[in-house]
Amino acid sequence: MTRPGPAAGAVPPARLTPVPHTGPHAVPDAVPDAVPARPLVVVVGDVLLDRDVDGTVTRLAPDAPVPVVDVAQVRQSPGGAGLAALLCAPRADVVLVAPLADDADGEELRRQLADVTLVPLGHEGPTRRKTRVRSSGQSLVRVDEGGPGTPAGVTPETAEPVREALARCDAVLVADYGGGVTRDPLLRELLAETAGRVPLVWDPHPRGGPPVPAAALVTPNAAEAERAAGNLPDPPAGQDGHVPAVADVLRRAWAARSVGVTAGERGAFVAARPDGDDDGAPAVVRHLPARPVRGADPCGAGDRFAATAVDRLARGDTPADAVREAVAAASAWVASGGADGFRQARDAGPRAVVAEPDRPVTRAELGARLRATGGVLVATSGCFDLLHAGHVSMLTAARRLGDHLVVLLNSDRSVRRLKGPERPVVPLADRRRVLEGLECVDHVVVLDDDEPSAAVADLRPDIWAKGGDYTRSGLPEAAVVHAYGGRVVTLPRLDGRSTTGLVSQVRASDPANATIPPTMRRSS
């Protein structure tokens, strides 16, 4: 059952479709029907007011050799736990527990956090504010003000709304930004109690408190993990000081179910407690790679990572699967402009293409987003069944034509209609994963139509590229491309390579097991 969103300032009512949890370290293990469409996520942490001052520099100051910024625009929005809560909100009902100051910036934070339920705590000092001054997209300086932001007046009575929210939630995200929330004894006690019942994701900070025991997932970045491991009574050395080993060292030191150390463009390393293990033996550490992103702003990627991970854990994913989704989401976030791209999209209104990796993106939105980043958008299509050297050669050549390559991949139903009932040999999920693993491919979009004209009209690539076995007159989508001013490019074909040829070789070598009919339409 889907519940309406809670009114701002009120703790949501009791859960109508609770997710069962068992054991002191359990994550949800319910059947799919028991997982709510919108889980209740409680975000606990420190809130900041982030400000971006954009302008241009054309001269130096007369009194010092410093640039003069002519301000063109000022944007501000919640940062820290506030940003994490906003990122959770599209897919969950969110309660944000955080200190909020009674000043003008605090009121601005409350206004911008209207989409989540606030449980405010007392705040020591003025609102913490971080201002980045930039010229032509290049950061010149960051100015930090306010704080310290330590929670004030936290007593059993004032913390009762926190206890009530935690008692009803499906998952918790602790977004520590060093303000003091994670060092408060009473709040730590409540979080430790909750970690034994529901998945708790802890995004740490060097100035914060250590994760409470039984956290489902702790998400330090590589620098934070190495610093934390170095501060242990018996710090790791040699090979044990490398990031993968540190992940498991910290998992045991923190008594966590799992630790996922994020390592930028390398992705993440996940050490998860083996089922039934008592923390004594080392765990197998899994590496979950990220898609490389060029020339991007990583600000806010950690919040995007943690918000995605807590959403997936609330829906029953394992920590490793949650981290895999979180790595992909963080990469997409960075590619879409980071926190500033998110703020620009919010300010632009509901018609903007929002950098929300968890939400399905339409073909038109994808095209608009890629074009907005600049450069030439290239697209192609095909079945790509039994990916071979000819495919890779064509895709690599297509990518060299521009800055982004989108592949429209025929669905299994479409391939059967085009190639016959025995195709595809490789199912859609595997074909897509193989294509996404190619460095030359930026995005894969599933195509259920037999020919791509409608998809091309939505995506509107600057260049539509096809292999040399096609002619422009044989491409019905060519008219669509020309109509909006795009170009059609045919690429050289690598002779002697085709899926049909590979299938024929299999049939010839083992005719008893080869049931694929010899008559097929042209290879992809």
User: What residues are paired with 139 via a beta bridge?
Assistant: 134
User: For the whole prediction, is pTM greater than 0.85?
Assistant: no
Question: What tokens does 339 get?
Answer: 């926190």
DSSP codes joined into one string, 316-341: T--HHHHHHHHHHHHHHHHHTTHHHH
| pLDDT reported for residue 373 | 56
| pLDDT reported for residue 206 | 93
| pLDDT reported for residue 252 | 92
Closest CA to 299 of 139, 136, 88: 139
- Which residue in this structure is represented by tokens 């859609």? 428
Question: What tokens does 486 get?
Answer: 């795009």
3-state secondary structure 57-119: EEEECCCCCCEEEEEEEEEEEEEEHHHHHHHHCCCCEEEEEEECCCCHHHHHHHHHCCCCEEE
Question: What values do phi and psi take at 274, rounded to 5?
Answer: -60, 145
Report the distance separating Cα 358 and Cα 348, nearest Å. 20
Report the distance separating Cα 385 and Cα 3, nearest Å. 43
In order of their start, the domains of the chain are: 363-509 (3.40.50.620)
Characterize the bridge pairing of strands 129-135 and 138-145: antiparallel
Q: Which of 303, 311, 340, 412 is catalytic?
A: 303
> Which residues lie closer than 8 Å to 139 by C-beta, 6 or more apart?
132, 133
Per-residue pLDDT of the chain (524 residues; tens, 9 = 90+): 333 333 334 444 333 333 333 333 333 333 333 334 579 999 999 999 999 899 999 999 999 999 999 999 998 999 999 999 999 998 789 999 999 999 999 999 999 999 899 999 999 999 999 999 999 878 899 999 999 999 999 999 999 999 999 999 999 999 999 999 999 999 999 999 999 999 999 999 999 999 999 999 999 999 999 999 998 888 887 665 688 889 999 999 999 999 999 998 888 999 998 765 555 667 778 998 887 766 567 888 899 999 989 988 998 888 988 898 888 888 878 877 777 778 777 766 433 334 444 446 788 778 866 765 556 789 999 999 888 888 898 999 999 988 899 999 999 999 999 888 888 888 999 999 999 999 999 999 999 998 899 999 888 888 999 886 665 566 889 999 888 777 888 887 665 555 555 555 555 665 554 444 443 333 33
Question: What values do phi and psi take at 92, rounded to 5?
Answer: -150, 160
| pLDDT reported for residue 425 | 87
| pLDDT reported for residue 170 | 96
| pLDDT reported for residue 341 | 76
Cis omega (within 30 of 0) on the bond before 120? no
Report the distance separating Cα 364 and Cα 463, nearest Å. 15
Residue type, 297: D
The verdict on whether 303 is a catalytic residue reads yes
